[in-house]
Structure 1
Amino acid sequence: MTLTRRQLLGSAVAAAAVLGPWPAAARQLFESIFMFIPAGPGGGWDGTGRAIEQAARAAGLVGSFQFENVGGAGGMVGLPRFVNQRRGQANALMVGGSVMVGAGITNKSPINITNVLPVARLTEEAGVVVVPASSDVKTWKDLEAKLKANPGAVAVGGGSAGGTDHIALGLILKALGRNPREASYVAFAGGGPANAAILGGQVGAGISGYSEFAEQIKAGRMRALATTGEKRIEGTDIPTLKELGLDVVATNWRGVFAPPGITDAQLKALIDLMTAVHATPQWQEILKQRAWADAFLTGEAFAAALKRDIAATESVLKDLGLA
């Protein structure tokens, strides 16, 4: 049977009445985004950038992404490159976080996190202390005993010098009655090299964000001894350091920044993009999958929180002899 055009239209209207309105397509806010990662592939910053791409593209908010990874010194190698080469570029974003705050202070960098524009704080993540599965260290108390006896004999791998992982180790040693300067801390430019070093036995233990070690922990290749958070990481049975008798809490936030030289309107467009990404079901699912705590802040509120964090980090690093 052949339907007339009027009959076809009538059928479509009837179907719409039954099925309800078609879902509106997401409005594309940017044709493309340049995402700068001031760390090597495989780490927390890289994972954050890729997660933003995943959510933004799935929701139709951004057409395409271009990535550049430049690792080293807690972001202090890549940061000047982003500031100088992307100045005034309205579609550029850089992933950064608390590690970059500490690294800038420790390295006395002339260009630091204050030279970029805060767009959005996205996540907060507790760290986890791990050892390779083959280690003779079976529990936190085993590692604690070794650190108490001779901190310099226990090589601990983590992120860049002066970053959250380094601070966490310093706080642990201080809580154990040892001098944080006794630490044998081995800094890595990204989660990939840190994972390899721990699994390869080049260091005796590691400290980093849970998401960086989660795959290895779940596969049984690493043993998680403790978390540095205020409470246990959701979906895990890893005890906190506080539960284990140490009054130590150290968490790591991550967010995105814009280059200097863009207008207020261009900055607002980037904030609007990240606000839209944060609202997507895809982003909320990523938070759940990676055990990232939602710490969303934008614009001036983020800038104020960053200012407080810089002051607090500087104080802690001085106390620990790292600044």
Structure 2
Amino acid sequence: MKSPLRMALAAASAATVLPGCSLVNASPPPPDDWTPRGSVSALVAFAPGGGSDRSARVIAESLNELDAGFNVNVENKEGGSGAVGWATFMAEEGNGNALLIAETALNTLPILYDVPFTYRDFTPLVMFAQDSRMVVAAHDAPYDTCAELVEAGEEEPVTTGSSGKTGADALVVAEFEKNGGEFSVVPYGSTGEVLTGLLGGQIDAAPAGAASVKPYLESGDFKALCTLTGERYDDPLLGDVPTAREQGLDAEVTIWRGVLAPAGVTEAQRDYWIDSIRAGMRSDTYRDYIETDLLLPADVAGEDFDAYLDDYDEEMQEVFR
């Protein structure tokens, strides 16, 4: 029997063969002074409501605020932990009016699964943010630190949740297992579902984004065990939470969020979008997003973003080896 991931990818490929052909043969190469006009798609390969969807809508709003003669519309095409959307986007080759809002799973998914793409099949534009994770547990859990959580996992598997098999939550579990703990992972569809599972006692601990867990820490429902950041958060509440490295664990998780174009776009199209995305990142919309979601601002573009992805991929190969 074919796996659900393979079946979803087959359906995506069948649905995009004809559009891919029409794009390649539709028109001559654009001029050097190319600018987009009309509707521009911003594809996100996950369902509405998650971190990837939010970042896509922030980037779309920031670009639309430039009032430059185009309108960016977010399109969600979820399935297969991102595989369906990314496979579909391959059919946009050469289309300067198509953008992809992606993150770390674009590196990790091809490492773990047989999919018809890697990050090298797209054109890096701008990495606009970095994100990490915190680990939380119920307020009455028997451990107070991530070091104690890993130690408990050395005795018997600790049950934790994950909002994806290849994203930031999975990276946290992989890092903790490299430090000697053993974990039984319950899959969920979103971070919200993971935290609901922790509230209901279905899991013992949960990795999640800082902005998502902060309200539960303020209410006293959860306690923070550690962050997976390089340094503590610059936040009145979260700044008191030590990093995993401070607790003696060799563990750190950083995920990237960025914008890519299809393969085959021209240099003029690539440069136009790099300049426009960077202009949008000077907006209050972008700044509020970074502050509210407790992200690290980033501005890595073009060839530098390409080199970053190469280095990051090597790191992920080591994590999931």
Q: Distance in 1 between matches of 2:82 and 2:288?
A: 28
Counterpart check, 1:291 vs 2:297: no
Q: Distance in 2 between matches of 1:155 and 1:62?
A: 51
Coordinate RMSD, CA, aligned: 2.5
Residue 268 of structure 1 aligns to a residue whose secondary structure is: helix
Aligned CA distance change for structure 1 residues 91 and 223 (closer, same or farther; 3 Å): farther
Q: TM (normalized to structure 1)?
A: 0.78
Aligned CA distance change for structure 1 residues 144 and 66 (closer, same or farther; 3 Å): same
Q: Does the aligned pair in 2 maintain the 1:126–1:233 contact within 8 Å?
A: no
The corresponding residue for 2:232 is 232
Which of residues 256, 267, 271 is equivalent to 1:268?
271
Deviations 1:47-75 (A, max 9, x none): 21122134334454575432222334432
Deviations 1:154-209 (A, max 9, x none): 2211232233322221221222x34xxx4312344433433333333332221133
The corresponding residue for 1:68 is 75
The corresponding residue for 1:185 is 185
Aligned CA distance change for structure 1 residues 203 and 68 (closer, same or farther; 3 Å): farther
Deviation at 1:220, TM superposition (A): 4.2
The corresponding residue for 1:112 is 118
Which of residues 109, 115, 135 is equivalent to 1:103?
109
Aligned CA distance change for structure 1 residues 30 and 157 (closer, same or farther; 3 Å): farther
Higher mean displacement: 35-44 or 121-130: 35-44
Q: Distance in 2 between matches of 1:62 and 1:186?
A: 46
Q: Does the aligned pair in 1 maintain the 2:174–2:319 contact within 8 Å?
A: no
Q: Does the aligned pair in 1 maintain the 2:87–2:116 contact within 8 Å?
A: no
Q: Distance in 2 between matches of 1:54 and 1:220?
A: 35
Residue 232 of structure 1 aligns to a residue whose secondary structure is: coil
Aligned CA distance change for structure 1 residues 205 and 289 (closer, same or farther; 3 Å): same
Aligned CA distance change for structure 1 residues 61 and 130 (closer, same or farther; 3 Å): farther
The corresponding residue for 1:81 is 88
Deviations 1:228-276 (A, max 9, x none): 0111112022211111221211111111111223222222222122111
Structure 1 stretches of 4+ moved >6 Å: none
Q: Distance in 1 between matches of 2:251 and 2:211?
A: 20
Deviation at 1:124, TM superposition (A): 1.1
Counterpart check, 1:122 vs 2:125: no
Residue 77 of structure 1 aligns to a residue whose secondary structure is: helix
Deviation at 1:120, TM superposition (A): 0.7
Counterpart check, 1:202 vs 2:197: no
Instruction: List gaps (5 residues or longer) in structure 2.
Output: 1-34
Q: Distance in 2 between matches of 1:195 and 1:89?
A: 39
The corresponding residue for 1:246 is 249
Higher mean displacement: 182-191 or 267-276: 182-191
The corresponding residue for 1:259 is 262
Aligned CA distance change for structure 1 residues 77 and 195 (closer, same or farther; 3 Å): farther
Q: Does the aligned pair in 2 maintain the 1:72–1:160 contact within 8 Å?
A: no
Paired amino acid for 1:251: T
Q: Distance in 1 between matches of 2:227 and 2:69?
A: 35
Q: Distance in 1 between matches of 2:109 and 2:152?
A: 27
Instruction: List gaps (5 residues or longer) in structure 1.
Output: 1-27, 319-323
Paired amino acid for 1:202: Q
Q: Does the aligned pair in 2 maintain the 1:74–1:159 contact within 8 Å?
A: no
Aligned CA distance change for structure 1 residues 132 and 103 (closer, same or farther; 3 Å): farther
Q: Does the aligned pair in 2 maintain the 1:61–1:273 contact within 8 Å?
A: no
Paired amino acid for 2:257: R
Q: Distance in 2 between matches of 1:39 and 1:50?
A: 12
Higher mean displacement: 92-101 or 214-223: 214-223
The corresponding residue for 1:5 is none
Q: Larger Rg: 1 or 2?
A: 1
Paired amino acid for 2:202: Q
Deviations 1:126-163 (A, max 9, x none): 21112245x53451255344222112xx2211232233
Work out the number of aligned pairs and report it: 283
The corresponding residue for 2:162 is 158
Q: Does the aligned pair in 1 maintain the 2:141–2:204 contact within 8 Å?
A: no
Deviation at 1:30, TM superposition (A): 5.9
Q: Does the aligned pair in 2 maintain the 1:224–1:238 contact within 8 Å?
A: yes
Aligned CA distance change for structure 1 residues 265 and 107 (closer, same or farther; 3 Å): same
Which of residues 170, 173, 185 is equivalent to 2:174?
170
Deviation at 1:218, TM superposition (A): 4.1
Aligned CA distance change for structure 1 residues 259 and 66 (closer, same or farther; 3 Å): same
Aligned CA distance change for structure 1 residues 183 and 275 (closer, same or farther; 3 Å): same
